[in-house]
């Protein structure tokens, strides 16, 4: 997983295609900015925050994702308990749900 800008992602994906690294057997895990590239390979995985277009929503969504990761890393509880916590602690606004 590499964090890169949309322009960088476009160039990297072009180079990867030239090296036959975008077909079957390859998976790309990318940042939100890379998902905006015009040539995202099939099989690419990425997370785009729902509040990405709104600075306040983006910060809020980022904090929820980071909080969940911290809970996952440091908690001795089961994954289902952490998911329940994450779902019930999220604010009730349409931009907090993942699509």
pLDDT digits over 22-62, tens only?
A: 988 888 888 788 888 999 998 888 877 776 677 777 777 77
Q: Which of 47, 52, 38 is nearest to 7 (CA)?
A: 38
Q: How far is 68 from 83, CA to CA, in rounded Å?
A: 8
Q: Is the pLDDT of residue 92 over 60?
A: no
pLDDT tier for residue 97 given thresholds of 50, 70 and 90: very low
Q: Tell me, yes or no, if the pTM score tops 0.75.
A: no
89: three-class secondary structure by DSSP: helix
What's the pLDDT at 84? 66
Q: Are 49 and 58 in contact (CB under 8 A)?
A: yes
Distance of CA 29 to the CA centre of its chain: 8
Distance of CA 99 to the CA centre of its chain: 11
């Amino acid at each position: 997983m590499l964090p890169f800008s949309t322009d960088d992602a476009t160039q990297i994906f072009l180079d990867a295609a030239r090296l036959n690294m975008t077909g079957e057997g390859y998976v790309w895990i990318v940042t939100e900015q890379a998902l905006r590239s015009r040539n995202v390979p099939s099989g690419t995985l990425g997370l785009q925050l729902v509040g990405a277009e709104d600075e306040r929503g983006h910060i809020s969504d980022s904090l929820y994702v980071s909080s969940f990761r911290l809970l996952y890393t440091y908690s001795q509880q089961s994954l289902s308990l952490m998911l329940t916590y994450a779902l019930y602690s999220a604010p009730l606004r349409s931009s907090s749900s993942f699509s």
